[in-house]
Amino acid sequence: MALEPNPNIFANNPLDRVSDKRTDEAWLKEKMDDPESRYVPFYNLQPFVLPEVAPGDGKDIGWLPPQMVKPLMTSNSVTVLLGINKRGRALFATDLSAGENPEQTAFKGMGEFEDLRGLAMKGEITPGELAIMAQGKSMIDWHLRHGFCANCGYPTDMMEAGYKRVCPDCKAEHFPRTDPVVIMLATRGDKALLGRQPMFPRGMFSSLAGFIEPGESIEEAVAREMMEEAGIQVRNVRYHSTQPWPYPSQLMIGCHAEAETEEVTVDGIELEEARWFSRDELRAVLAGENKGFWVPPAFAIAHQLIRHWVDQG
């Protein structure tokens, strides 16, 4: 039975990840060479994208056959298995950053490498493909930055189609990371708390967020971050949804929480300002009215947290 749809961009990955096949090296080699398999090349962590066929059609991910991609790989190129699509094709992501940009050579005139965030914001490729690109980007980024053993410093080898690295010297195993982050909307009656980080674009307010620390539960992280950043005490933390966030590999865990206190004290470091907004103000802003501030667009989980709470009132 299918899962309920998740409202967040980069979620709802449609592939079968076939984790049981990753250890089967013969199967993996066969799929990597199979002319029916497809590769999406990445260059500087940007996926290859084909232009629109007609205006308004949307762009397509540049899924290329092995014979177009394999000649451009070097012995150090990272290639990871993404999964099997509904047509039974094996899909791979491969990093070609070590060589000359193929946009100017082998792929000239076909398309270009594009920033994933821009593609997500503009809604130019389908949600399912955005989710697959998030998976590919996080995986490639991890391999490029984790070539050496964290235990002994020796160069490590990629194993299991990219889902593990093993140190040939001390035998330590290393797995691709996912870093959990809580992002939460604290509410009190008919008001919700939003804050501004100094780096935010002018006028934007969003949900508060922070990394979960070792040995901490989701609820404890929500309560700690709310107290540290805004001086607000919360209770009754409720989970809403999660969003994979490939910058480089966070998992945003969206929650709502009830504030027990109202007086805001910002830390001045992570937040420069935080204040309470009424449900009516937020409803108007979501509907596109100018109220002198704005909230993140629909591709951000903060938007979904705000919208869910507004729609309940």
The residue ranges that bind Zn ion (CB under 5 A) are 149, 151-152, 154, 167, 169-170, 172
Give the 3-state secondary structure of residue 54. Answer: coil
Beta-sheet pairing, 179-188 with 60-61: unpaired
Look at residues 252, 40, 65 and name the one whose alpha carbon lies nearest to residue 140: 40
Task: Give the Cα separation of 96 and 40 in Å (integer).
Answer: 10
Give the 3-state secondary structure of residue 115. Answer: coil
In whole angstroms, the minimum distance from the beta carbon of 167 to Zn ion comes to 3
Cβ nearer to Zn ion, comparing 152 with 269:
152
In whole angstroms, the minimum distance from the beta carbon of 166 to Zn ion comes to 9
Cβ nearer to Zn ion, comparing 166 with 227:
166
Determine the Cα angle at 287 with ends 289 and 254, to 5°. 120
In whole angstroms, the minimum distance from the beta carbon of 170 to Zn ion comes to 3
In whole angstroms, the minimum distance from the beta carbon of 272 to Zn ion comes to 43
Cβ nearer to Zn ion, comparing 5 with 168:
168
282, with CB counted inside 10 A (0-12, 13-18, 19+), is: buried
Cβ nearer to Zn ion, comparing 81 with 149:
149
Cβ nearer to Zn ion, comparing 18 with 158:
158
Helices and strands of the chain, counted as H and E runs: 7, 15
In whole angstroms, the minimum distance from the beta carbon of 173 to Zn ion comes to 10
